[in-house]
Amino acid sequence: MNRIGFIGASLLVLLVLASSMLFVVDQRQFGVVYAL
């Protein structure tokens, strides 16, 4: 049971990190478009 909870928490953390990285990339692209 603990292993399942640990895997679930790990996937949740990875999902948050991936979404935040994608958000930063999107913001950077919007910044470049705004600069142009």
pLDDT of residue 22: 81
Q: Helix (H, G, I), strand (E, B), or coil: what is residue 36?
A: coil
Domain of 27 in residue numbering reads as 1-36
In the chain, the number of structural domains is 1
What pLDDT digit, counting tens, does each position of 1-36 carry? 689 999 999 999 999 998 888 888 788 877 777 766
Q: How far apart are CA 28 and CA 36, in angstroms?
A: 13
Distance CA 15, CA 9 (A): 10
pTM of the full structure: 0.59
Predicted confidence at residue 1, as pLDDT, reads 67
pLDDT of amino acid 36: 65
| Separation of alpha carbons 16 and 3, rounded Å | 20
DSSP letter at 21?
H
Per-residue model confidence (pLDDT) at position 29: 78
